């Protein structure tokens, strides 16, 4: 079913000429396609660019390929794809796409119709139904996942906040539809949401321009706590960008309350600030263009 949705989105890209026949063939034969769900043409185009089947530099020019009368549709698809592989964090396109798709897949099957059915089954009350309706995610109807009662029930805990995790678990023992509740609980248990401190260690070497970032997050789900780490993202810029040789390393994290520094430490503090400013300027010069 997931592969079917992905192929449908890729086929649409070829129909609107955003993919050539050879690009479409390369995308549909890519072994990684089986490991991902692409629901919309925008998601499919973002994935094609992240897989380097279509160069990212060509993305803005793709709407010009569209046949007459479909230029606006093509532009909307390209804009969606661009948003999925772009961000303020200097990570590769595939990493940004993966994070954005994880968030989108948590909303698959969430709909007003599913909320209505949950109300009819007395799995949520009228107030919870009204609250959740006001916060429904926006879907493109033609590309939306089928309505899912478990996914929507889990979403009322994870996203809308209409139900607490405890209220959901209490339903398991007093409903005639325990399978829906059990499925929703399983979805919540498998969803990892960052709720605590994040620490990031970044190293920028200007002799090779090797930029490496590692982020560690203390994460918890609604029912359990765990510690997870985001994989290191490492990449090199072209050697033509090198202007001087110097290495900066700094670590930033959400600070805990601490006493003011002793008067004798102010010179060290100023030095740290200066180094951080130099590093930020270097990042802006090489990555902010």
pLDDT score of 252: 38
pLDDT score of 263: 47
pTM score of the predicted model: 0.62
3-state per-residue secondary structure call for the chain: CHHHHHHHHHHHHHHCCCCCHHHHHHHHCCHHHHHCCCCCHHHHHHHHHHCCCCCHHHHHHHHHHCCCCCHHHHHHHHHHHHHHCCCCCCCCHHHHHHHHHHHHHCCCCCCHHHHHHHHHCCCCCHHHHHHHHCCCCCCCHHHCCCCCHHHHHHHHHHCCCCCCHHHHHHHCCCCCCHHHHHHHHHHHHHCCEEEEEEEEEEEEECCCCEEEEEEEEEEECCCCEEEEEEEEEEEECCHHHCCCCCEEEEEEECCCCCCCCCHHHHHHHHHHHHHHHHHHHHHHHHHCC
pLDDT score of 14: 97
| Residue 120 and residue 126 in contact, taking contact as beta carbons nearer than 8 Å | no
pLDDT score of 150: 95
Residues in the chain predicted with pLDDT less than 50, given as ranges, are 193-263, 289
pLDDT score of 84: 96
Domain boundaries, the chain: 2-105, 112-190, 197-287
| Residue 12 and residue 27 in contact, taking contact as beta carbons nearer than 8 Å | no
């Amino acid at each position: 079913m997931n592969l079917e949705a992905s192929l449908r989105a890729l086929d649409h890209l070829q129909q609107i000429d955003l993919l050539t026949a050879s690009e479409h063939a390369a995308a549909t034969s890519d072994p990684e396609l089986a490991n991902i769900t692409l629901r919309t043409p925008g998601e499919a185009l973002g994935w094609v660019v992240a897989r380097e089947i279509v160069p990212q530099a060509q993305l803005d020019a793709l709407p010009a390929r569209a046949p007459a009368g479909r230029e606006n549709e093509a532009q909307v698809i390209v804009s969606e794809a661009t948003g999925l592989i772009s961000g303020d964090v200097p990570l590769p396109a595939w990493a940004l796409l993966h994070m954005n798709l994880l968030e989108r897949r948590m909303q698959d099957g969430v709909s007003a119709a599913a909320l209505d059915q949950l109300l009819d089954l007395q799995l949520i009350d009228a107030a919870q139904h009204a609250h959740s309706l006001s916060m429904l995610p926006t879907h493109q109807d033609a590309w939306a996942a089928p309505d899912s009662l478990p996914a929507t029930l889990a979403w009322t805990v994870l996203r809308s906040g209409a139900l607490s995790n405890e209220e959901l678990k209490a339903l398991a023992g007093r409903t005639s539809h325990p399978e829906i509740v059990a499925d929703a609980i399983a979805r919540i248990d498998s969803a990892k949401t960052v709720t605590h401190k994040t620490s990031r260690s970044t190293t920028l070497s200007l002799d090779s321009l090797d930029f490496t970032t590692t982020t560690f997050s203390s994460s918890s789900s609604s029912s359990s706590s765990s510690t997870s780490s985001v994989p290191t993202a490492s990449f090199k810029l072209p050697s033509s960008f090198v202007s001087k040789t110097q290495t900066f390393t700094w670590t930033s994290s959400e600070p805990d309350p601490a006493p003011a520094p002793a008067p004798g430490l102010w010179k060290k503090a100023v030095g740290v600030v200066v180094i951080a400013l130099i590093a930020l300027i270097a990042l802006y010069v090489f990555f902010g263009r």
